[in-house]
Amino acid sequence: MCIVGEPTSMVPAVAHKGAYRWRCCVRGKAVHSSLAPSGVNAIEAAAQVISHISAMNGDWRANEQPHEGFDVPHSTAAVCQVQGGIADNIVPEDCRFHYEFRLLPGTDAERIQRLVVDHAATIEQGMRTISKTSGFRFEPIIAVPAFQAHPDDPAVQLSLRLARTSQTTLVSFGTEAGLFQRAGMSTVVCGPGSIEQAHQADEYVTLEQLARCERFLQGLTELKLPSLAQ
């Protein structure tokens, strides 16, 4: 079994979305901005793909079957970093942006990425009528598989007992749980604190949560293996 310790307010979490991040590198052709039509603007090409990624959110919101229990019950996409250009009067030759997908359990991440790559390929055709060396390159950054456990899984039942609760929850953030589950382990996510306080200047875990976690860990150390089969 595997218990992944992440901030679930000590309520066992039985599912989270998959997280997939990519870097897109766009190569254009630099020219003086007064001769813009003879160049390939890497930022403008990137913007077309960014717009496509943004539109995927609207499609998921309207058409994807909601997964109740998540704060956001559909898959999401976000472009979170963009860099490009060197001067106000030079058509930019390079642009780079990072984007991510947060995908519901069961969603094919490779198929979703292919939608982006195929859209970029149509833009690339026009770019290469001006410069054959221009185009797009995609680089994977992370791939965190989604996680979904059955309420009767041994790790879930054990965590409910140790946490002294009958409730389970879902979390929006990603963990290593999907990796352990793929390796054949019964897995659950459970730990002190809340993601609402995470990644902020005043990030904290309350003493009450630490005390509940301490009781949980004490119970874990006192387990007798034969009891797990009951």
Which residue ranges make up each domain of the chain? 2-15+147-229, 18-144
- Alpha-carbon distance values, 99 to 91, 137, 197, 203 (Å): 23, 13, 24, 25
Residue 61 predicted with pLDDT over 70: yes
| Count, residues in the chain | 230
Summarize pLDDT for 65-91 with one digit per residue, the tens.
Answer: 999 999 899 999 999 999 999 999 999
Going through 9-134 in order, the beta strands assigned E by DSSP cover 13-16, 18-27, 76-84, 94-103
Distance CA 58, CA 46 (A): 19
pLDDT of residue 223: 84
**Residue 200: band (very low, low, confident or very high) from pLDDT cuts 50, 70, 90:** confident
* Closest to 99 measured CA to CA, from 80, 85, 113: 80
- pLDDT at res. 226: 57
Q: Give the domain 2-15+147-229 fold.
A: Aminopeptidase (3.40.630)
Q: What is the pTM of this model?
A: 0.85
What is the CATH class of 18-144? alpha beta
CA 57 distance to own-chain centroid: 14
Q: What is the pLDDT of residues 141-191, one digit of tens each?
A: 999 999 999 999 999 999 999 999 999 999 989 999 999 999 999 999 999
